[in-house]
Each structure stands twice: as structure tokens, then as C-alpha cells.
Amino acid sequence: MLRTRIRYGVTAAAVAGVLLAATACGGTTRGDDEGAGGGGAAGEADPDAEIPEGLSIGFLPKQLNNPYFTYANAGGEEAAEELGGEYKEVGPSEASASSQVSYVNTLSQQGSDVIVIGANDPNAVCGALNQASQAGAAIVTYDSDTDPECRDVFVNQATAEDIAAVQVEMIAEQIGGEGEIAFLSATPNATNQNTWLELMEEELAAEEYSGIEVVDTVYGNDDDQKSFNEMQALLQSHPDLAGVVSPTTVGLAAAARYLSGSDFKGEVALTGLGTPNQMREFVDDGTVEEFALWNPRDMAYLAAYAGASLSAGRITGAEGETFEAGRLGEYTVGADGEVVLGPPTVFNADNIDDYDF
């Protein structure tokens, strides 16, 4: 089963190299187009091309001051230093669909060689990204993708199928395979969130999960207080709720905080995607039994190396190309320009203290 492979197949030592995967999107990458702009994203790849020092690598997360992206982008800064480049980070304070457009423009106007973005919406930033590409920037998405035609490479956390499956397995096990559940997601337009929700619904349609019913999906917009309030509202609106799945680190931590101080603690199961440091206290006090994630820092680290390889012309984003990503080793570009880090890891009381992120 997937659970066995994830729970026992990834050790504390290996998780540093485990971090990306593909949620396949249709279309073609810009690297396949004759007129594609952006670093080395057009024309023939030269695997031996030298990555120049001084590359300007700009990171644009879904929102600043989000603990997940704060930790993740430290990996981007680490990679930029190794590459002899200049690291920048800009971004909005709220994870709304159009909030990133002005920051893409800012990075482009500042002459960024590489723009790495975790998109809040698959299409809202496309115009700005295409302009940045025409100005010479290599475009890499990470964590959450845009339309493939708006970027050169997508660095994904883990396959969407694995992420969906492990969350369904966790909640099903914790509620004994039957009962009402709800989803507490991030933003309504987040590509990765919507893909996972859709795949979880498909997974739950299997006969083995016939006793589980999804009764609601709510959105905390990756805001701590709103996610806290949405969790409270879910439990009030659905008195028979057996469990909640929150596939977002902000949402999961906020939901756990509410649950831990409520009468529902120990009665309603909660799982999803979170970081060990955010969730440790809730595992220790019994609010949360287990949850899953990849290593966000390695995801951003890989994205920086992918961007540098694009900018230098080592890769174009075409399927089958390979590139070196520092301490993570060699990676291969998959279909639709996606690069996959690896399967998620399940964290619980037995292993959570082995991780510090």
C-alpha cells in the first residue's frame, strides 16, 4: 500500500532529498515554442553550458510571513549562495488571485534573471510572467503551478496522486473508515489545492471508502485567523463531523489550535499537510494523530537550481532533459515541464522529533 511505502520508505536522512512531484497540467510549456523568451528556455539545450555568477534569482511566494514559505525560501537563498547569485524575495501580505502581479513586474523591472513563483491563481499572473519572460527572465513555478504556457518549468512537491492518497488514507484510518468529513483548504483558486481536493474526492469514491461522506469544503485563504474561524464554523455547522482534512500548512495549524482548546478534541480527527515544527505541540497533546508533508526547503532549493539551469541554457524545459541540483543530485524534466521532488512523508509521535522544519 502507499501508506507502507511512505511511512517506512523515507527516513530522516532521506527526506532532505525528497521534495517534488508532478500534478500534471495540460498544454505545452513555453520552452516548446519557437518564440519563447526567458533565459535558456528557448532553442537547443546545452548541458555543458556554464552557469554564470551573479544571477539575480527572485522568489515570489503566495504570501510573505507565511511560515511554510519562510522556511521554504531559505532553501532558495541557500541555492542562490551556492550558485554565486543574488537572492531576492518579494510578495503580497495576502494570498489573493491578483496580488502577485505587481511583484512579478517589480522583479522583471529589476532585471531578475530567474523568477520563482508559487502561484495563487493559474492564470492571473500569466500576462506579467510572459512580459518578464520577454524581458529575459527564466520562469519557474513551485508549490502551485500556473498554466504551463506561462512558465518554463514547474517544480512540484510530490505527485498530486500521492499527496491526495496519503491524506485520504490518514483520515480514513483515524475515523475508522466511516463518517462525515470536511475539507479546510487555502484559496479557492490555488492550483495545487484544487487538484488535491479533486483527487481526494475521486479517491473517496472507491468502494473501500464508501462509508465516508464529504459534507463541506471551506477556505481559510491561508490566513491563520480566518482558518481558525472556518474550523470553528465547520464544527458548529456539522455536529456529526468525524474528521477534517486541511491540505495547507496554515489551515492545518490554525484548525489544530482551535480543536485543541475545544470540546471536540479527541472526538473529531484532524489531518492534512503541515510542518513538524508547527504541528509538534498538537501531536504531543493528542489533538492530531498524524499528518504529512515534503521538505519545503528542498523544494525551493531545487527551484533555484532549475531556474539557474534554464537561464544558462542547460535545459529548456523539454521533457527528458536532466540537470544537477547541488546537494539534491540530478533531476529529470518530466511531461509539461514538471520536475518532481519525491513522495510525502507521514509525521506522527514516533518520528516527528526527528525533523526540524
> Is pTM, for the whole model, over 0.95?
no
pLDDT exceeds cutoff 70 at 157: yes
Q: Which three cell numbers stand for residue 344?
A: 510525502
Give the dihedral sign, CA 333/334/335/341.
negative
In CATH terms, is domain 160-293 a member of 3.40.50.150?
A: no
Q: What is the distance between the alpha carbons of residues 110 and 168, in angstroms, rounded to a whole number?
A: 44
Grade residue 299 by pLDDT with cuts at 50, 70 and 90: very high
Ramachandran quadrant class, 269 (left: phi over 0; alpha: psi -120 to 50; beta: rest): beta
pLDDT exceeds cutoff 90 at 41: no
What is the 8-class DSSP label of residue 273?
A: B
Asked whether the beta carbons of 288 and 268 are under 8 A apart, the reply is: no
Q: What is the distance between the alpha carbons of residues 306 and 10, in angstroms, rounded to a whole number?
A: 24
Grade residue 201 by pLDDT with cuts at 50, 70 and 90: very high
Q: Which CATH number among 3.40.50.970, 3.20.20.80, 3.40.50.2300, 3.90.1150.10 corresponds to the domain 19-158+295-341?
A: 3.40.50.2300
* CA terminus-to-terminus distance, the chain: 27
For the chain, give every domain's residue range. Answer: 19-158+295-341, 160-293
The predicted-structure confidence for 57-80, as pLDDT tens digits, reads as follows 999 999 999 989 999 999 999 999
What is the 8-class DSSP label of residue 201?
A: H
Q: What is the distance between the alpha carbons of residues 278 and 70, in angstroms, rounded to a whole number?
A: 13
